[in-house]
Structure 1
Amino acid sequence: MSDTPLPPGSYRPATDKWGAFSKLAARLPEGSLALVDRTVVKHHPGLLPALEARNPRAIVQITGGERAKNFASLEKVLTGGLTLPRSGTLIVIGGGTLGDVATVAAHLLKRGVRLVQVPTTLLAAVDSSLGGKGAVDLIVRGNVVKNPVGVFHYADEAWICPEFFTSLSDAQRREGAIEAWKMVACLDGRLFRKYMRQAPTLEQLVKDGRRLKESVCAKDPYEHSGLRRVLNFGHSFGHVLESLSRFKLSHGDAVGLGMRCALDVGRRLGVTPEPVALQVEQALEQGPGILGRDRIASLIQRTPLKDVVDLLAADKKAGTSGELRMILLTGIGAFDIRDVPETEWRQLWSAWKNGIRP
């Protein structure tokens, strides 16, 4: 741990520690606050004893998942950390949803405490545990709007413990792989083609994903320059589909379907060449295994367009005038940021409803 914390929210480069959790836990300052996913505790019985050995101030257990990303969970963590000093540490052991709640809590507690991220899902390891962003969801007209209330608060460290990945389902591994492939498709054409020839190991996937995301965050730590928006490839319509499914569709799978939509929009606007769109889509099907277009159709079949327009308008990635701001590929490993008129993506709606490629 660093002795002198930076001001709350300040950018700090990624400091990754790989190893067994029991050994890394010895680094945790005594009297820390811990937020732990109940499900992870069930699968890994050695977790709580390793934490308790460090005399934590409190161990808050919450079951992870999108339903946990709300103000009630945030309040529970804040209450557990009421006596935590400004120099204290909040450690979160779980997936991206608990990581988001912990990031907000770490920013608010005593106006900023140290944060240690311990991702237990592949998705959190390659994406959400890195980059300093945390948020909670809101309900708007009966629909869940993802991440409209949040902060930037960079973790002091991230502990990557491969043991936690052993209990993941195939679906959980897939959604983490989708996020990693997403970054490679946007940022490193050479690596993308290498992945197409031979699928990476899980450890290499995590290292490549974190390296690419860190390279972007270092240049645009607070999304001011616009470069960091590349990480939102597939998220605009992905978040819509996720919300419409009432979060039965996982975030990673939603992003995979959102990338299909983004490739369609890119072709529609003449930004994404047809061969590029086809090659990327086929690679995503054969590599991480994104879901088929029939899943898009099943989610929007009975959805009024107005509901989709409302969800897109409420999304934090909208432009200053509410326009839909999307990341579109111009090549493999190259992208552009475009404002997409509603009239353009509406032209694709019929094909999406029928589960076919426009």
Structure 2
Amino acid sequence: MTTAFLPPGAYRPPVDRWGTFARLAASLPEGSVAVVDRTVAKLHPTLLPTLEARRPRAIVQLTGGESAKSFTALEKVLAGGLSLPRSGTLLAVGGGTVGDVSTVAAHLLKRGVRLVQVPTTLLAAVDSSLGGKGAVDLTVRGRVVKNPAGVFHYAEEGWLCPEFFTTLSETQVREGSLEAWKMVISLDASLFRRYVRTPPALTKLVKDARRLKESVCSQDPYEHQGLRRVLNFGHTFGHVLESVSHFKLSHGDGVGLGMLLALDVGRLLGVTPGDVAARAEEALANGPGVPGRERAAALLRRAPLKDIVTLLGADKKAGSAGELRMVLLSAIGTTEVHDVAEHTWRELWPAWTKGVRP
């Protein structure tokens, strides 16, 4: 079956197109709908005129960040796309949060329209713009729970425009690098060794990360077989840290710190050998530059333990009995999924709240 006859949003191998936004946008069908991060539009003044030249039905501007993954933002995108035919195109230009809400909107509009992802952050380029997943957040007992309501809707194309990466801060580069290194540490031991010897250039980092993620997604495009769980390494406690920070901690930094906590859980359970945990933590510190453990400690100390339990219980990866279904590192490039009881991770709590390695 050719991709032309696949239902909207169905799995399809990624079509990555590299180049300037102006060159790639020349192929955008007239009458499309574009969702654009306001900050990106300000940093790149030719962006909106380039889109307007394609006579779009609407250009919906959103403020990037976790607030973009709300039902309010989703409704704004849906309203902008009301007149879009089912054969139309929705273009998402922004970081991961803009891409997420656009993915949900593309799935819902006319029961599925064509989606093109244009990631403007390194984090979105290496991760969220690939793999078909989109989601919005919900608030549970006053805390924002990430991604409980979502869809699978694969983009037909991904546009990689290096010009957008030139305006990223050092912090944003670190966040994306941490997500890329997560895939290297958990999926490719030989690439890990090469990265440790010689840190990769940004373009290579993006291409390697997208290749690694696609190697997983192609085998389990809708997470029916559990193979994609490996991509959640660092996410269990990473999402908690993001939430208790009220999302002042970015997703990339949250995943970085979450990997450190996952290494601790793995060591405690005897899944992660001590030397493997040490190598991984050292690589994260020396390569992308994971924030220090004191950052995680400061966040965990500010939240009542019962709130942490609530957030973990609401995690979509939790087991039926409330146990955490965590991805743990058994060797560089190899992971295992384990159910982790509450009493296990609570044993690590004193060290975690002091900012020290257990």
- TM-score, shorter chain, exceeding 0.5: yes
Deviates more, 1:179-188 or 1:2-11: 2-11
Aligned to 2:270: 270
Moved more, 147-156 or 60-69: 60-69
The Cα of 1:6 is off from its aligned counterpart by 2.1
Measured after TM superposition, the shift of residue 3 of structure 1 is 8.2
Q: How does 1:1-358 map onto structure 2 within 5 Å?
A: 4=4, 6-358=6-358
- Secondary structure at the counterpart of residue 241 of structure 1: helix
CA gap of 1:292–1:322, structure 2 versus 1, over 3 A, is same
Deviation, 1:126, is 0.1
Q: Is the 8 A contact 1:68 1:97 kept in 2?
A: yes
Once the two structures are TM-superposed, the CA of residue 8 in structure 1 deviates from its matched residue by 2.9
Q: For residues 327 and 8 of structure 1, what CA distance do their matches in structure 2 show?
A: 31
RMSD: 0.9
Aligned length: 357
Q: Distance in 1 between matches of 2:18 and 2:201?
A: 16
Taking the aligned partners of 1:85 and 1:131, their CA distance within structure 2 comes to 24
CA distance in 2 between partners of 1:297 and 1:266 (Å): 19
Q: Which amino acid aligns with 1:46?
A: T
Q: 2:26·2:54 contact (CA, 8 Å) conserved in 1?
A: yes
In 2: Cα distance, 1:212 partner to 1:261 partner:
23
CA distance in 2, matches of 1:52, 1:179: 33
Q: TM-score, normalised by structure 2?
A: 0.98
Residue identity in the other structure for 1:104: V
**Using the alignment, how far apart are the partners of 1:198 and 1:132 within structure 2?**
31
1:9 Cα deviation after fit: 3.2
* Secondary structure of 1:337's aligned partner: strand
Q: Secondary structure at the match of 1:167?
A: coil
Partners of 2:5 and 2:138 in 1: how far apart? Answer: 31
Deviations 1:9-37 (A, max 9, x none): 31111110000000000110110000000
Deviation at 1:7, TM superposition (A): 1.1
8 A contact 2:9–2:114 mirrored in 1: no
What is the identity, as a one-letter code, of the residue corresponding to 1:251?
A: H
1:123–1:252 contact (8 Å) kept in structure 2: yes
Aligned partners of 1:5 and 1:114 also within 8 Å: no
> 3-state SS of the aligned residue for 1:10?
coil
SS at match of 2:4: coil
Structure 1 residue ranges (4+ consecutive) displaced by more than 6 angstroms after TM superposition: none
Q: Distance in 2 between matches of 1:175 and 1:270?
A: 29
Q: Distance in 1 between matches of 2:142 and 2:88?
A: 38
Mapped to 1, the partners of 2:149 and 2:271 lie a distance apart of 32
Cα distance in 2 for residues equivalent to 1:178 and 1:5: 37
- Is the 1:33–1:90 contact (alpha carbons within 8 Å) kept by the matching residues of 2? yes
Change (3 A) 1:286 1:13: same
Paired with 1:96 and 1:303, the residues of 2 have a C-alpha distance of 26
How far apart are 1:49 and its partner, in Å? 1.1
Q: Using the alignment, how far apart are the partners of 1:193 and 1:339 within structure 2?
A: 29
What per-residue deviation string (whole Å, max 9, x for no partner) do you get for residues 77-119 of structure 1? 0000001000000001000000000000000000000000000
| Letter of the 2:198 counterpart | Q
Q: What is the letter of the counterpart of residue 235 of structure 1? A: H
Match for 1:167: what amino acid? T
Call closer, same or farther: CA 1:5–1:77 in 2, change over 3 Å: farther
The 8 Å contact of residues 9 and 113 in structure 2, kept in 1 or not, is answered as: no
Larger deviation, residues 317-326 vs 130-139: 317-326
Which consecutive unaligned segments of at least 5 residues does structure 2 have?
Answer: none
TM-score w.r.t. the length of structure 1 is 0.98
Contact kept? 1:34, 1:90, Cα under 8 Å: yes
Structure 1: 5+ residue stretches without partners: none
Change (3 A) 1:3 1:290: closer
Instruction: Please tell me the residue identity of whatever aligns with 2:100.
Output: D
1-structure distance, mates of 2:6, 2:50: 27
CA contact (8 A) 1:74 1:101 kept: yes
Distance 1:342 1:118 in 2: 40
CA distance in 1, matches of 2:291, 2:3: 46
Shift of 1:5: 5.3
Partner letter of residue 57 of structure 2? Answer: R
Q: 2:34 is paired with a residue of what secondary structure?
A: strand
The change in CA–CA distance for 1:19 and 1:271 in structure 2 (over 3 A counts) is same
